[in-house]
Structure 1
Amino acid sequence: MNRSFLFLLGSARQGGNTETLARAAAEQLPAGAEQRWLDLTRLPLADFTDARHSGGAWPEPGEPEAGNEALLRDATLAATDIVLVTPLYWYSVSSSTKAYLDHWTKWLYVPGLDFRARMAGRTLWGVTAMGDRAEALAQPLELMLGNTAAYMKMRYGGVLLGNGSGPGQVLDDTRALARAKTFFARQAPLARSTGE
């Protein structure tokens, strides 16, 4: 089965360091691997409302921004590999990336969608650039993505970390660019929760 990569751009800056690093890694993918790039900042989602225990209903399709949600949901389910391309913001993912992940909760409860079962076995990856060289500062982001993958019974490929704050600075991070060459070549293991 050919792999299909969904790259979800979550930066508030177009063409920033995180996207540059992700594109460097994507250049190494085999020719048969499909790539789809979607910009979460250009596909805004309605604020997530958790209606699981309130007796209320989830927002109905057709409401504002429901088209973006359907597009992102369908693209997610069509991919074998989901790559969250998000700068490190306050030690975690960007707000648009978090909004996207919040909607996974809704998709878990859509009758007949079987979102969790369909996501099992797929691979979750992260790519991030950060302004600090202390990679330990990215641990909260890595734990969040790893635990998300474990809950969904997905594989977890880890996070490709790069350093860069100003435009194009990540291209000076030779270590990150070297890691980018083999990042997607690894066989990602099934994720395990840090609580296990």
Structure 2
Amino acid sequence: MSSRSFLFLLAGARPDGNTELLARHAAADLPGGAVQRWIRLGDAPLDTYEDLRHLDPPRERVPAGAERLLLDATLEATDIVIASPLYWYSVSASAKLYLDHWSGWLRVGEPGSFRARMRAKILWGVSVYSGDDPADADPLFGTLRKSADYFPMRFGGLLLGQGNRPGDILQDTPTLTRAKQFFS
């Protein structure tokens, strides 16, 4: 693969939370020459997704503002990393809203363009759970894997760590060790 470009979408409610710390730890060992772009979804809030497929008369999707920023960043990246804490057994609301907008982006520009461009990408997940059972993250894993399967694009996997209080992930030595190799 030619030069890789990673888009890190930070979907936690707290800056520098455990999930962000884990994502940054994993990114520190990216292959040489890999470009990194970090966007905190809370700083680029999306409007509620509106499904325009069956309106009469039909309306065209014209992304603007934060939606345009995220669409362009998504299309420019070779690798998309959704860094979302485990919230109620799945991705955070901002991560889910971002994924919802993929449905609308299927109808932006040339027909089939978004789908075709997504096929060449890799989707990754980074998450931290606070409970005792890593299986609690199974729905989060399924959301990301199924989203990748839809296009189909490659799913790189989920880096899952455990931590509750701020900074706890830094004590999860096995996960930090896995993080060093996660994107290779």
After TM superposition, is the score higher than 0.5? yes
Question: Which residue does the alignment assign to 1:39?
Answer: 40
Q: CA deviation at 1:111?
A: 3.3
> 1:54, 1:158 → 2: CA distance?
37
> 1:146, 1:53 → 2: CA distance?
27
Matched residue count: 181
Classify the secondary structure of the residue corresponding to 1:87. Answer: coil
Confirm or deny: 8 A CA contact 1:48 1:103 kept in the other structure.
yes
> 2:167, 2:155 → 1: CA distance?
28
> 1:184, 1:32 → 2: CA distance?
13
Confirm or deny: 8 A CA contact 1:7 1:82 kept in the other structure.
yes
The percent of aligned pairs where both chains have the same amino acid is: 55
Classify the secondary structure of the residue corresponding to 1:76. Answer: helix
Question: Which residue does the alignment assign to 2:91?
Answer: 93
Q: CA deviation at 1:157?
A: 0.8
> 1:8, 1:123 → 2: CA distance?
14
> 1:154, 1:125 → 2: CA distance?
11
Structure 1 position 83 matched with structure 2 position 81: yes
Question: Which residue does the alignment assign to 1:193?
Answer: none
Question: Which residue does the alignment assign to 1:159?
Answer: 158
Confirm or deny: 8 A CA contact 1:162 1:176 kept in the other structure.
yes
Confirm or deny: 8 A CA contact 1:7 1:84 kept in the other structure.
yes
> 2:108, 2:59 → 1: CA distance?
11
Classify the secondary structure of the residue corresponding to 1:183. Answer: coil
> 1:166, 1:52 → 2: CA distance?
43
For residues 87-114 of structure 1, the C-alpha deviation after alignment (integer angstroms, 9 at most, x for no partner) is: 0001100011111111100000113161
Task: Report the TM-score when normalising by structure 2.
Answer: 0.95
Q: What does 1:45-84 correspond to in 2, within 5 Å? A: 45-55=46-56, 56-58=58-60, 60-61=62-63, 66-84=64-82
Moved over 6 A (4+): none
Confirm or deny: 8 A CA contact 1:77 1:119 kept in the other structure.
yes
Q: CA deviation at 1:153?
A: 1.1
For residues 29-48 of structure 1, the C-alpha deviation after alignment (integer angstroms, 9 at most, x for no partner) is: 12200000000011001111
For residues 112-152 of structure 1, the C-alpha deviation after alignment (integer angstroms, 9 at most, x for no partner) is: 16100111021000000110131111010111111110111
> 1:167, 1:27 → 2: CA distance?
20
Structure 1 position 14 matched with structure 2 position 12: no
Question: Which residue does the alignment assign to 2:104?
Answer: 106
For residues 29-78 of structure 1, the C-alpha deviation after alignment (integer angstroms, 9 at most, x for no partner) is: 122000000000110011111111232425645xxxx3111110000000
Question: Which residue does the alignment assign to 2:177?
Answer: 178
Task: Report the TM-score when normalising by structure 1.
Answer: 0.89
Provide structure 2 residue ranges, at least 5 long, that are not aligned to the other structure.
none
Question: Which residue does the alignment assign to 2:25?
Answer: 24
For residues 133-190 of structure 1, the C-alpha deviation after alignment (integer angstroms, 9 at most, x for no partner) is: 31111010111111110111100011100111111000011111011011111xxxxx
